[in-house]
Amino acid sequence: MVLCIFIFASCNPPKPIEIDSAKLLKNVQILSHDSLEGRAFSRIGNQKTQKFIIDQFNEIGLQTVVGSSYTQEFPYTFTGKKRQEVFPMDNAKKDFSNVTDTIAIGANILGMLKGSTNKTIVISAHFDHLGIRNERIYNGADDNASGTAALFAIATYFKKLPTKHNLIFAAVDAEEIGSLGAEYFLNNYSKKEDIVLNVNLDMIAHSDYDPELFACGLYHFPDLRKPLEKTKSDKLALLFGHDDPENREQSDWTFSSDHRVFYRENIPFIYFGVEDHKDYHRDSDTYDTINTDFYIEAVKVIIRAIENLDEFLD
Ligand SMILES: [Zn+2]
């Protein structure tokens, strides 16, 4: 009898991941809507986006990370640049001829679920994008409304399923101008030594040909291979790579998004993303051009990976 139970337990596939797919897609649609004007750093559309993220974190019931607010503001100085140079669409009629430095304010939105230990996994996704250029809105549905909306689905899932590690959900600002938000978060986080892993999501909804999602980082952190190999899907291929500087067949994504900030501090990372595609950094990166079935499955795969990583890591 004991043997039967053992065999049954070990052969039984893990319980399927259930998420609210309709809500996930709706959130991408909202985050990539024209009314948010491409979510450019320090612009009104970016600030509206922050508010939307705060509402989601509140609804899920996340704890705060810094003080009593989800918002972590940070200033950035564009040294030697006038307001008109940095934000040409702003204040067109005002005279800024005496101003030499432009100070802009950005903000990360940070929420947390407590685990049973003091160790922490930071799940990050940047919410800023390119804004308006040549009077065209760059909606950034894949880059990175997809990663931001995934944060809400992942947090909702783990709210009901306690983890060993604390999970910090970091919706970070200003990736598109140099990972300023991720850098500010990490430089100012008082328990940096407790962070065992960064899982970064940036462009996870667009796969025009074969359904392929990359998990990048194993070249640097080969110990993480085992929990990722346990992460399987029959609807998409989870591939490893894009992290070996010597590999001439593939571009190296080690420094391509916010995970680089963690990597520079020797904190292990896994970055989930897709190959660059025809709509990358174009005004055609809209809700209509993402692949919804692929995206839903990608989010489920990432949840399973986080589950496996949480179990595997001390
Ligand atoms: Zn991006």
* 144-185 tens-digit pLDDT: 999 999 999 999 999 999 999 999 999 999 999 999 999 999
Q: Which residue has the higher pLDDT, 14 or 278?
A: 278
Is the predicted pLDDT of residue 98 greater than 70, yes or no?
Answer: no
Distance 281 CA to ligand 1 centre (A): 9
Distance 102 CA to ligand 1 centre (A): 24
What local confidence, expressed as pLDDT, does residue 270 receive? Answer: 98
pTM for the full predicted model: 0.93
Distance 273 CA to ligand 1 centre (A): 9
Distance 143 CA to ligand 1 centre (A): 4
Q: Mean per-residue pLDDT for 73-100? A: 74
Q: Mean per-residue pLDDT for 265-294? A: 96
* Beta partners for residue 74, in sequence order: 106
What local confidence, expressed as pLDDT, does residue 10 receive? Answer: 53
What local confidence, expressed as pLDDT, does residue 14 receive? Answer: 79
Q: Would you kindly state where each structural domain of the chain is located, as residue ranges?
A: 19-74+106-312
Distance 8 CA to ligand 1 centre (A): 43
Distance 175 CA to ligand 1 centre (A): 7
Distance 116 CA to ligand 1 centre (A): 32
Distance 165 CA to ligand 1 centre (A): 26
Distance 263 CA to ligand 1 centre (A): 17
Distance 36 CA to ligand 1 centre (A): 16
CATH of 19-74+106-312, one of 3.40.50.300, 3.40.630.10, 3.40.190.10, 3.20.20.70: 3.40.630.10
* 40-69 tens-digit pLDDT: 999 999 999 999 999 999 999 999 999 999
Distance 290 CA to ligand 1 centre (A): 14
Return the residue matching tokens 């890591």. Answer: 313
What local confidence, expressed as pLDDT, does residue 90 receive? Answer: 64
